[in-house]
Amino acid sequence: MATKWVSLDKLRYAISKIHTLLQGKVDKVDGKGLSANDLTAALKGNYDAAYTHSQAAHAPAAAEKNIIVGVQVNGSDLTPDGSRKVNVRVPTGALAGKSQVSETDLDDALKEKVNSASEGNHSHNNKAVLDQIEQADLDKLDGIAAGANKYVHPTSSGSKHVPTGGASGQILRWSADGTAVWGADNDTKYTDMSGASASAAGKAGLVPAPAAGGQAKYLRGDGTWQTPPDTKYSPATQSANGLMSAADKTKLDGFGTASSYALKSDITQMYRYKGSVSDASKLPASGQVAGDVYDIQAASSYGPAGTNVAWNGTAWDALGGAFTIEECTNAEIDQIFTDLAAG
């Protein structure tokens, strides 16, 4: 079947047919579906009452009467005795109703024992010694590390102190492993460097001081401060090295990165038109390379007449062919609606 297109007039025709078909539809009514099922007022009232009742809270099926199922004292369960009774003992003495006990609540014998214990009127081993320990003594003991002992400074290598003695201008010098002695500091003097010549090498030394006003000069290999030569370069040409001109820099900036350009190896893989053949059987069976393109004049398994094929390295691959686009007719649109109505 040929590919066809729909003009604006044909589109208007199709829309008018859709509009005609829609005239027989059932309009939607708010609150109802496609089929109505009306209720009488009495039946509607029963339905509303049943729905309201279904939304109300109800007691669970496993609910029990409001009865005591056990007794606890301070969180512990009490077990009934043989007579199915639970006896909860409640203090009834003078202290039963008090949350705290004071000294006046104690009898004389108990009061004397408590006071004797709190005032230190008791005996134990080393009591005479312990009674002399005060809080300050305990604080000192808390500040001593476990296993602490009298400190003795080591005298081994690396732990010795600076030796006594010495005089102005002296320094500590090595004497033995871990031992230093005072001694005079060596007065090492350095000479200025000597520059190189055409026949002799220079010698290392101190850099000679530049004279006032020589801040722009440089130290040359001959050991003297010199003004840098003013070397000027001309723009580069095809035959001589030089600086890049502004015009050449502008041209260079106009190019993209190297990766944005095709390589020669990329170009060799492009399609190459090789000619036409009358039918598919005339396509080359040997000697073709990837990218070779032929036009097949007759219709074939690759497509309609005029189809182009390219060799992909293992087989001929269709690139597409010519096809005709026709305008659809009213009769064809009518047939589409007929087919849709028939299911």
pLDDT digit string, tens, across residues 27-49: 666 666 555 556 778 888 888 88
Quick one: pLDDT at residue 269? 61
- Cα–Cα distance between 316 and 309 in angstroms, integer? 6
CA distances 269 to 82, 92, 296, 312, Å, are 106, 111, 22, 10
Q: Give the model's pLDDT for residue 38.
A: 66
Side-chain half-sphere CA neighbours of 263 within 13 A: 4
pTM for this one?
0.25
Residues of the chain with pLDDT under 50: none
pLDDT at 283: 95
3-state helix, strand and coil shares in percent for the chain, rounded to the nearest 5: 25, 15, 60
Torsion (CA) 274, 278, 282, 288 in degrees, nearest 10: 10
Return the half-sphere exposure (C-beta side, CA atoms, 13 A cut-off) of residue 317: 11
Packed helices 8-22 and 330-342: angle between N→C axes, nearest 10 degrees: 30
Q: What is the pLDDT of residue 225?
A: 94
Beta bridge partners of 219: 225
Q: What angle do CA 302, 304, 309 make, to 5 degrees?
A: 40
Q: What is the pLDDT of residues 126-185, one digit of tens each?
A: 777 777 888 888 888 887 877 777 778 888 887 888 888 888 888 988 888 888 899 888
